[in-house]
Structure 1
Amino acid sequence: MSRAQHIYESLIEALRNGTYAPGDRIRAEDVARLFDVSRTPVREALSRLQERGLLEMTATGLAVARLGRQGVHELYALRELLEGAAARFAAQHASPSDVQAMRQISDAFEATQGNPARAAQINRAFHDALYEAAHNRFLTVSLAGLHDTLMLLPSTTFAVDGRQDKAVVEHRAILAAIEARDPDSADAHAREHIRSARDARLSMMFEY
């Protein structure tokens, strides 16, 4: 692995674990010092992150990108399409073990009431299991890139009153459609699930 690739992946992980938050400055000299390298591989890594929309140039320099209302709408519009496709493919291709895994995770999610952070972790596991059940590696790659951009959003929508309860019902509906081998229904329920998440996100960020 090249130095630039190592730095790039390390910064992605730092975004995932919250070391860097939206709006935080990212200085090339600080990153170079952290990894004990010259600025050349650092600039390459930062350029890649900027190309992906994870960093942006501000009046004070390079910083972790902030998503405005339009950006949130665009992000969730794409997520709705991809999650719907994943559910559709899962209804067509999921194995019994795939369905069982989703069922177990769905049950675990229902036990997270009152713990938004834990709910977010289990919810991600549910969606990862859904992507596995779709059995489409190209869709999985697209969704992985999308989830990197979701790191730019603050906190979790499960902190919104009633969101966990609604998500329980939505997960059940998606899973029931997959078990029934009904692609249209699975697609529709997955899209509804993401639209609900979008509305909760907008209410958190913009008093929507």
Structure 2
Amino acid sequence: MKNAQAPQKDAYSLILDAIDIGVYRPGDRLVESELAERFGVSRTPIREALQRLETQSLLTRDGRSLIVASLDHNQLAELYVVRSELEGLAARLAAKHATEEEIRVLQDMLESDRELVHDPAMLARTNRRFHKMVHLASHNRYLVQQLDLVYRTMALMATSSLAREGRGATALAEHGEIVAAIAKGDGDAAFAALKAHISKAFVTRLKADADAVEAAE
């Protein structure tokens, strides 16, 4: 009897995950044959995935080549405005609709993440998991779908704001305020805490980008 195997991800998900974790970064060229070889997938689903990613503006054309898109300052600012409002709404709804089990999971995530405070790469991954749990706890499928689109675009950010020195511990403290407000059923406080969290993350990113420009000069 053969061992049960986990379902394989499709080509689109494989490429998107690779962009998300930084295997492919903004400006990198994606070659159909190389992707097929890397992921062990035939070229037809790779081609279809690349077309889908281009349609979603996650890839862009450079002559005949497809490259990972990048976000300029205005696009980044617009993305954070939308993210802030939608995530704030998710937190507000979570404070109203989250089950006891969902709140417990958020609390457990917070405790586990405190052990990763000095591992920015891993903390970035668990950070996305935490935010996704808040989204799901809103119990609003349409809001979750819109936030999925926002986070898909966030894959184009070359680095996480959590990589900034000291940001990890601060971000976890902010997560604690969000969870506390949700647990109390205080929608206004949850909304405000999550919006403030996103605002501080944006400030951190802007400072990192400014430092990168200065270093290049």
Q: What is the TM-score with the length of structure 2 in the denominator?
A: 0.83
Which residue pairs with 1:111 in the alignment?
115
How far apart are 1:79 and its partner, in Å? 0.9
Equivalent residue in structure 2 for 1:137, among 125, 137, 141: 141
Tell me which amino acid in the other structure corresponds to 1:14. Answer: A
How many residues align? The count is 202
Instruction: Answer with 142-151 or 77-86: which moved more.
Output: 142-151
* Contact in 1 for aligned 2:53/2:59 (Cα 8 Å): yes
Q: Matches of 2:36 and 2:130 in 1, distance apart?
A: 37
Over aligned residue pairs, what C-alpha RMSD do you find? Answer: 2.3
Which residue pairs with 2:215 in the alignment?
none
Tell me which amino acid in the other structure corresponds to 1:123. Answer: N
Q: Cα deviation per residue 1:37-60 (whole Å; 9 max; x = unaligned)?
A: 45xx65543232112110012356
* Contact in 2 for aligned 1:108/1:122 (Cα 8 Å): no
Alignment of structure 1 residues 9-24 onto 2, 5 Å: 9-24=13-28
Q: Matches of 2:116 and 2:169 in 1, distance apart?
A: 10
Equivalent residue in structure 2 for 1:89, among 66, 88, 93: 93
Q: Cα deviation per residue 1:129-170 (whole Å; 9 max; x = unaligned)?
A: 212211112222222222121111122212212212221221
Structure 1 residue matching 2:30: 3-state secondary structure: coil
Structure 2 residue matching 1:63: 3-state secondary structure: strand
User: Cα distance 1:177–1:15, how it changes in 2: closer, same or farther (>3 A)?
Assistant: same
Which residue pairs with 2:73 in the alignment?
69
User: Cα distance 1:30–1:114, how it changes in 2: closer, same or farther (>3 A)?
Assistant: closer
Which residue pairs with 1:55 in the alignment?
59
Which residue pairs with 1:183 in the alignment?
187
Which residue pairs with 2:161 in the alignment?
157
Structure 2 residue matching 1:10: 3-state secondary structure: helix
How far apart are 1:121 and its partner, in Å? 2.3
* Contact in 2 for aligned 1:69/1:206 (Cα 8 Å): no
Q: Matches of 1:13 and 1:120 in 2, distance apart?
A: 13
Gap runs ≥5 in structure 1: none
* Contact in 1 for aligned 2:98/2:138 (Cα 8 Å): yes
Q: Cα deviation per residue 1:69-102 (whole Å; 9 max; x = unaligned)?
A: 1121111111111110110110010111111111
Gap runs ≥5 in structure 2: 1-8, 213-217
How far apart are 1:204 and its partner, in Å? 1.7
Q: Matches of 1:13 and 1:172 in 2, distance apart?
A: 28
Structure 1 residue matching 2:25: 3-state secondary structure: coil
How far apart are 1:184 and its partner, in Å? 1.2
Tell me which amino acid in the other structure corresponds to 2:154. Answer: L
Tell me which amino acid in the other structure corresponds to 1:176. Answer: A
What percent identity do the matched residue pairs reach? 35
Q: What is the TM-score with the length of structure 1 in the denominator?
A: 0.86
How far apart are 1:187 and its partner, in Å? 0.7
Which residue pairs with 2:150 in the alignment?
146
